Chain A
Amino acid sequence: MLPVKASDGSLDLLNWIAGIPGKSNTLWDHATYPLTIAFPEEYPAKPPKVKFPAGFYHPNVYPSGTVCLSILNEEQDWRPAISLKQILLGVQELLNTPNPDSPAQEPAWRLFTKDRLAYEKKVREQTKRYANPDK
Chain B
Amino acid sequence: MYDSYLSRIFGDQADKFRESKVLMVGAGGIGCELLKDLLLMNYGEIHILDLDTIDLSNLNRQFLFRQKDIKQSKALTAQKAVESFNHNSKLVAHHGNIMDTNMFPLSFFKQFNIIFNALDNLEARFYVNKIALFTKIPLIESGTSGLKGQVQPIYPYQTECFACIPKEQPKSFPVCTIRSTPSKPIHCITWAKNFLFPQLFGEDASEQDKLKPQDVDSDNKAEIEALLKESNELLDLKALVMNAVPEDDSYVYKIIAKIFKDDIERLLLIETLWTTREKPTPLEFEETKAQTFDGQRLWTAAENVAVFVDSTHKIAQRLKTGPVDFDKDDEDTLDFVVSAANLRSHVFHIPLKTKFEIKQIAGNIIPAVATTNAIMAGFSALSSIHAFYNTVEEKVKHSKMVYDSNQPARFVNSSGLAPRNNRCPACSVTRGIITLDLSQLTVNDIREAIIAKYGYSDDIGIADGSRLLYDYDFDDNLETSLDKVCAYGDVLFITDADEELDSLELFIDRGDALELPAFTLPKAVKNTDTPEDEDDEDDFALEGEVIDLDGPKRKAEDEKEPAAKKRKLDASAEIEIVEL
Which residue numbers of A lie inside 8 Å of B, CB to CB? 1-3, 6, 8-14, 18-19, 21, 32, 39, 42-46, 53-55, 60, 62-64, 66, 68-71, 73-77, 79-86, 88-90, 93-94, 97-107, 109-110, 113, 122, 125-126, 128-129, 132
Contact = CB atoms under 8 A, between A and B. Distances in A.
A83 B573 CA distance: 12
Given A46-B169, A82-B569, A106-B270, A6 B561 contact: no
Interface string B219-244: 10001001110110000000000000
Contacts of B497: none
B464 interface: yes
Contacts of B230: 63, 105-107
Given A11-B474, A106-B230, A106-B266, A70 B218 contact: no
A10 B272 contact: no
Contacts of B273: 103
Contacts of A113: 272
Nearest to A103: B270
Contacts, number: 178
Nearest to B471: A11
21 contacts: A9-B476, A10-B469, A13-B467, A55-B211, A55-B216, A55-B227, A68-B580, A71-B577, A74-B171, A76-B578, A81-B565, A83-B570, A94-B577, A102-B579, A105-B230, A106-B267, A107-B226, A109-B270, A125-B219, A126-B217, A132-B543
Given A68-B580, A83-B533, A13 B543 contact: no
B557 A81 contact: yes
Contact of A14 (B179, B223, B466): B466
B467 A62 contact: no
A87 to B, nearest CB: 9
A128 B463 CA distance: 39
A55 B180 CA distance: 17
Nearest to B167: A45
B405 to A, nearest CB: 28
B569 A81 contact: yes
B231 A70 contact: no
Contact of B577 (A21, A42, A70, A126): A70
A128 B557 CA distance: 38
A13 B578 contact: no
Contacts of A110: 269-270
Given A13-B468, A42-B169, A55-B227, A70 B209 contact: no
A45 to B, nearest CB: 5
Q: Is the interface of A mostly helix, strand, loop or mixed?
A: loop
A86 B570 CA distance: 9
A8 B176 contact: no
Given A69-B580, A103-B273, A107-B227, A75 B174 contact: yes
A47 to B, nearest CB: 10
Given A73-B174, A83-B533, A93-B575, A10 B464 contact: yes
Contacts of B211: 54-55
For B230, B269, B570, B579, which residue has the most chain A Cβ atoms within 10 angstroms? Answer: B579
B173 interface: yes
A74 B178 CA distance: 13
Interface string B367-386: 00000000000000000000
Interface centre among B171, B273, B542 (most CB of A within 10 A): B542
Contact of A1 (B216, B467, B477, B547): B547
A90 B560 CA distance: 23
A130 B574 CA distance: 26
Contacts of A101: 272, 579-580
Nearest to B269: A106
Contact of A44 (B266, B560, B580): B560
Top 10 nearest A-B pairs (CB, nearest first) are A102-B580, A11-B468, A10-B467, A99-B580, A81-B561, A63-B231, A60-B580, A14-B466, A44-B557, A21-B542
Contacts of A106: 230, 266-267, 269-270
Contacts of A85: 533, 540, 547, 549
Contacts of A39: 466, 553
B347 to A, nearest CB: 17
Interface in B541-559: 542-543, 545-549, 551-554, 556-557
A122 B269 contact: no
Contacts of B565: 79, 81
B535 to A, nearest CB: 12
